[in-house]
Amino acid sequence: MKQRAQDLAKLLGPNLQIAEGVSDGSMTFSKAVPHGIKGSKRGSVMMTRINLGDKVFLHSSDIQMLDAATIDFIIAWQPDIVLAAGPPLYIETLPDEQRTAAWQNSLRLAANVDILILDHHLMRDQQGLKWLDALSVEAGKQVYCAADFMSRKRLLLEAERTELYETMPVPASWHEKYAKGLIRAEDYISAGNFSLS
């Protein structure tokens, strides 16, 4: 996160503005909230509320549904649609109390918004699909992942990473070249190495 901040500061220079706690037109930015659990070494994130006139959309970033106070804050902002990172169930050492907190926080948020979209960490593992579907049943309404919301096929590319690298290998130096901007993903795709269909 520090490196991204430094890169943005270098790129934008004096045009980089701190948005935390600021409103600008239809957009309002939260104060810092926990990146997962409160007090985590992972730092904090900022949420963005966008008033669309007849609806309010909230991008709650990487909250992972682990902090009840953050959920209280979201509900107080009265969004109609919330996009949030779900819990990192793929982390085997994630304590049971955090798993329970994420479940309860997700149910509470689902009950207080029209549309809840949980993605990111939740979709990094096959168990995330089962968790999301079970949450929908208990909430009494659909809780979406991003693919569901867009009426697209669920493609858990991270969850299937090992199998995908076996069936669609990349050259040994591909990642380094990509990171340096020497090659593009589009080049790999156009060469017929990859398809999302």
Whole-number Cα distances in Å, 96 to 34, 101, 118: 19, 9, 19
The pLDDT score that the predictor gives to residue 140 is 98
pLDDT in tens, 102-114: 999 999 999 999 9
Q: In DSSP terms, which residues pair with 50 in a beta bridge?
A: 27, 57
Q: Give the tens place of pLDDT for each residue, 131-163.
A: 999 999 999 999 999 999 999 999 888 888 888
* Closest CA relative to residue 100, chosen from 131, 143, 145, 125: 131
Rounded Cα–Cα distance for residues 107 and 117 (Å)? 12
Question: Contact, 128 vs 144, CB < 8 A?
Answer: no
> What is the predicted pLDDT for the residue at 4?
80
Query: What is residue 64's predicted lDDT score, i.e. its pLDDT?
Result: 94
181 token code pair: 């901007």
CA distance 34 to 43: 6
Q: What is the mean pLDDT of the chain?
A: 90
25 class by beta-carbon count within 10 Å (0-12 exposed, 13-18 middle, 19+ buried) = exposed
pLDDT grade, residue 95 (50/70/90)? very high
Percent of the chain with pLDDT over 90: 58
Q: What is the pLDDT of residue 195?
A: 54
Tell me the C-alpha distance between 83 and 73, whole Å.
Answer: 14
Pick from 125, 43, 28, 36: nearest CA to 78: 28
